[in-house]
Amino acid sequence: MVILKVANQQAKTSKAAEQLICAKEARIVKLTEDVDFLEKKNADLQARYTALFKLNHLSQECLDLDSFYPQVHNTIASLMTAKNFFIVLYDQTFDTLEFVYFIDEKDEKPSGLIDYQDYEGSFTNLVIESKQPLLLTPELEQKLFDNYKIKQFGSRGTDWLGVPLLHNGLVIGTITIQSYDEKTRYNDSDLNLLTFAAQHVVGAMVRLQDQQRLQNAVNARTKELMAQIREREKSELLQESLYRISELTTDIELDIGTFYSKVHNIIGQLINAKNFFIAKYEHDSQTLHFSYYQDEHASNLIKDFKPRKLSNGYSELVLRRRETVLLTYSEMMSLHLAGETAKPQDDIHSWLGVPLIYSGQLLGVMVLQSYHYKTTYNQQDAELLNFVSNHVSVAIKRRELADFERRSHELLEQQVKLRTLALEDEITQRKQAEKLLQHTAAHDSLTGLPNRTVFLDLLNHAIACAKRKDDFSFAVLFLDLDRFKVVNDSLGHHAGDLLLKIIARELLAIVRDKDTVARIGGDEFVILIEDLRSNEEAFDVAQRITKFLQQPFTLDNQLVYTGTSIGISFSNKRYDDANTMLRDADTAMYHAKDNGRGRYEVFDDSMHQKVQNALSLEADIREAIAWQEFIPHFQPILQLDNRELKGFEALARWQSTKRGFVYPNDFIPQAEETDLIQEIDLQIIEKACQQLKLWQDKLGCHDLYVSCNLFAKQFFRTSLPQDIAKVLKDTGLAPHNLRVELTERALLENAEIVLTNMQALKDMGVKILLDDFGTGYSSLGYLHRFPIDVLKIDRSFISNVHEHDNNSAIIRTIVDLANNLQMATIGEGIETLADAELLQQKGCIYGQGYYFAKPMSPDDATDYIIEKMSN
């Protein structure tokens, strides 16, 4: 019995031990499974961290968006199954969609920009409109179809997972993953992961988009500049060629055959002129004489180009039409079949002929031929050859006249001999006068011309003669070279001196021997024309001088253009001294400059009155400054999207006690010329700041600013920042409520002083606007160098934008450039609603112009602010 109990007890003990062992083994298995699960979860988290870290660095690793999008796909595919993947960009401004990246095993990528309305009811549309992530299972998709919430776009799949790309609260696109396989399903964890990844994608994508926009703007400007350079090089080559032909035409001694050969060579530099001929037309005999010819296919040049009677050739076609003829072989055959011309040569490919016409007279024809398909003449070649033909026509006519002149020369010599005795007395007197001039040693050292002292003596002598002799008449021509300063500044004073010598020599050749040419300083010449039979003689001299100086000069292998403005004063009994008459000629010269340069004007009393008026106006402006008569008028500057008033531009107006209201165009040019504009500017700034402070105190409009114009020379004064600071202190206006406007001209001179002044104003808190941007040099260099806050788009681009398509592109480029440089933009001169909408569409933030409001007096501007605040 005892043995049985012991056995039972041992059995129980053994069973308990077995159960304990099994429990421990089960616990070990459970712990092993937990460890495996945690290791797998840790590995997944590590993979997600690595993927998200890579997303953060994609904008630095990728050079452009085309390489960025595949990297995004690969990174997300490392986190979840993403066999079908696409990225859509949404442009809220233009309401368009663009599939910038698309990988799908069933559907093809939609191409180009797509109207957003065309995708209404799509899954993408739901994500964009809701701004929320969306996981579409077949069950949810069927419910949406049943409730007409969505429409089918593309192939139907299993699960569809899409998340919005949000930037500054706005949807700029979506990222989508799609599954067509029942084995690949997505859950909320995938949705959260894709949403989190999208947040990292947006920042990198926006940075790359900004870089691409900036690069596109730079590329567009570079392309434009290269086109301008090519056009300028082409123009310079044409100008040089025409100048060379002009030089040939003036060389009467040049053999005519050599002349034609040189013309052929010059044309060959502009057009392929391997096969070329010039034929003269003899009107009386109705014959063509081939004066010059070169032809690679002619078997016998002398035979093929012998003189011929007019027939039905293509040269005769040019003569009949008296216009340029450009033909291909097929067009030549058409003319032949129509019975208008002879059959063309079989090997001809392209044919171009122009008539040679001088003063309406038909002289002949000039022709180019091509026998090879690689050389086909076009309309541009035709226009160029036609232009060159004018110079060739002049040369031909001059040589015809040269023969006549030579025949007349012998007769002229006989007449000279007969008049020699009569002129001996006059020659003796002239020699005595020349000796007197030599003794005075009063000649210009550079040109050898008489100087001012000698000229005034001669002019006084002429005035005295006119008082003694009623039939004695003379004139004074006062010449000032146009653009001479450009020559000195660009090529140096050596080139300027050379130009003055050339002009002095030619002036002596133009006038008569008894006339006097003098240089009185700088680029100013005077001419005394004596013994006038009529005023027309003086006009003829002025016209010849003007025409001569319109031609280009070659200085140091550089083609230079100048010109002249001429003032003429005729002898009159009221002149008692030379200085008065010379002053009147000088006044007439400035009148010629004001009327467009490259012309002459005769002095009359109205010009003298104009000078007097200018002096009177200057005196009145000085008094007006002292009497504080200049006041600001205010033109509103609005935010284009909501028409909210942001500030005013203060414009100078003059209410004169003497003259009444004076328009800006009537006093600002005189004020700028005399530098009085600087004092007017400071007066306007002070009054504008006082008015804005008054509005702040009475109306509470503390966010408004006032923008004031500063003349370029203001920025050349080192005291400018102190002057502005004093105005702000005296008026109590905060610096951020004041803006100053300057033009590009101020940035091109005294750059260091300008930069120092601008930086001082910026440090003070005053913002700086660049006015009339796009009309000057428009250099990217100074936009980076100078601390500019706002670009004002010039009204010329806006007012002509509907007539010139490139103006729209320029506006867009300026806006993109400003945005990339963190500058604001203001469109000036907005005249219509269309102008305002276009600027807003191009991204311009602010605008001003007559469409919103004209410049207003302070009282009217007060009413305008009150009305805006009440709306």
> Mapping DSSP to helix (H, G, I), strand (E, B) and coil, where does residue 198 land?
helix
Q: Does residue 589 belong to any structural domain of this protein?
A: yes
Quote the Cα angle for 483-489-490, to 5°.
90
- State yes or no: pLDDT of 772 exceeds 80: no
Tell whether 426 is covered by a domain: no
CA–CA gap between residue 831 and residue 808 (Å, rounded) = 16
If one counts the domains in the chain, the total is 5
DSSP assignment of 402-465 equals HHHHHHHHHHHHHHHHHHHHHHHHHHHHHHHHHHHHHHHT-B-TTT--B-HHHHHHHHHHHHHH
Whether 464 and 340 map to the same domain: the answer is: no
How far CA 406 is from CA of 247, 251, 843, in Å, comes to: 21, 15, 73
pLDDT beyond 60 at 436: no
Q: For residues 762 and 740, what is the distance between their CA atoms, to the nearest angstrom?
A: 10
Q: Is residue 582 part of a domain?
A: yes
Q: What is the pLDDT of residues 250-293, one digit of tens each?
A: 676 777 778 888 888 888 888 888 899 999 999 888 999 998 88
The tens digit of pLDDT for each residue in 105-145 reads 888 889 889 998 988 888 889 899 889 999 988 888 888 88
Q: What share of the chain is helix, strand, coil (3-state, %, to 5)?
A: 55, 20, 25
Confidence of residue 34 (pLDDT cuts 50, 70, 90): low
Among residues 406, 432, 457, the one where a domain terminates is: 406
Residues 87 and 43 in one domain: no
Q: Quick check: is 248 in a domain?
A: no
Q: What is the pTM of this model?
A: 0.43
- On whether both 98 and 195 belong to a single domain, the answer is yes
Same domain, 545 and 581: yes
As a whole number of angstroms, the distance between CA 848 and CA 638 comes to: 6
| Strand residue runs (E) in 169-286 | 170-178, 275-282
Query: In sequence order, which ranges of 742-788 are alpha helices (DSSP H)?
Result: 751-764, 780-785
127 and 63 inside one domain: yes
Is 745 domain-assigned? yes
Find out whether 230 and 205 touch, Cβ atoms under 8 Å: no
SS3 772: strand
Helix (H, G, I), strand (E, B) or coil at 149: coil
What is the per-residue pLDDT across 37-56, written as a single tens digit (0 to 9) for each?
555 555 455 556 565 666 66
Do 729 and 831 lie in one domain? The reply is: yes
Residue matched to tokens 């949705």: 191
Mean pLDDT of 418-445: 68
pLDDT range class, residue 803, cuts 50, 70, 90: low
Lowest mean pLDDT among 296-300, 685-689, 826-830, 838-842: 296-300
CATH number (domain holding residue 365): 3.30.450.40
Clarify whether residues 638 and 596 are in a common domain. no
Whether the Cβ atoms of residue 824 and residue 815 lie closer than 8 Å to each other: no
114-115 and 134-136 as β-strands: parallel, antiparallel, unpaired? unpaired
Distance, CA of 850 to CA of 449 (rounded, Å): 57
Of 560, 579, 603, the domain-final residue: 603
Coil, strand or helix: which one is 567? Answer: strand
Apex 582 CA angle, 578 and 584, nearest 5: 120
Average pLDDT, the chain: 84
Same domain, 759 and 841: yes
145-183: pLDDT as tens digits = 877 678 888 888 889 999 999 988 899 999 999 999 888
More confident residue, 222 or 594: 594
CATH of the domain at 650: 3.20.20.450
Model confidence band, residue 713 (pLDDT cutoffs 50, 70, 90): confident
- Residues 662, 715, single domain; the answer is yes
Residue 479 makes CB contacts below 8 A (sequence gap 6+) with: 507, 524, 525, 526, 527, 545, 564, 565, 566, 589
Q: Are 25 and 110 part of one and the same domain?
A: no
Our CA dihedral for 128, 132, 135, 141, rounded to 10 degrees, sits at -60
Q: Which amino acid is at 465?
A: C
Backbone angles phi, psi at 93, to 5 degrees: -65, -50
**In whole angstroms, what is the distance from residue 644 CA to residue 868 CA?**
8
Domain contains 752: yes
What's 534's domain CATH number? Answer: 3.30.70.270
Write down the pLDDT at residue 380.
Answer: 87
pLDDT on residue 605: 73
| Residue 326 reports pLDDT greater than 90 | yes
The verdict on 596 and 697 lying in the same domain is no
What is the percentage of the chain residues whose pLDDT exceeds 70? 87
pLDDT on residue 644: 93
Q: With respect to residue 185, please indicate whether it lies within any of the assigned structural domains.
A: yes
Res 43: pLDDT = 46
Residue pair 260/279 in contact by the 8 Å Cβ criterion? no
**Spatial contact of 864 and 856, defined as CB atoms under 8 Å apart:** yes
Structure tokens at 795: 């009204």
Q: Is the pLDDT of residue 645 over 90?
A: yes
Range of lowest pLDDT (339-343, 529-533, 601-605): 601-605
Within 8 A by CB and 6+ apart from 827, the residues are: 640, 792, 793, 798, 811, 835, 836, 839, 844, 846, 847, 848, 849
Determine the average pLDDT of the residues in 841-870: 93
Range of the domain at 458: 441-603
User: Is residue 416 one of the residues assigned to a domain?
Assistant: no
One domain for residues 458 and 575: yes
Domain boundary among 406, 431, 466: 406
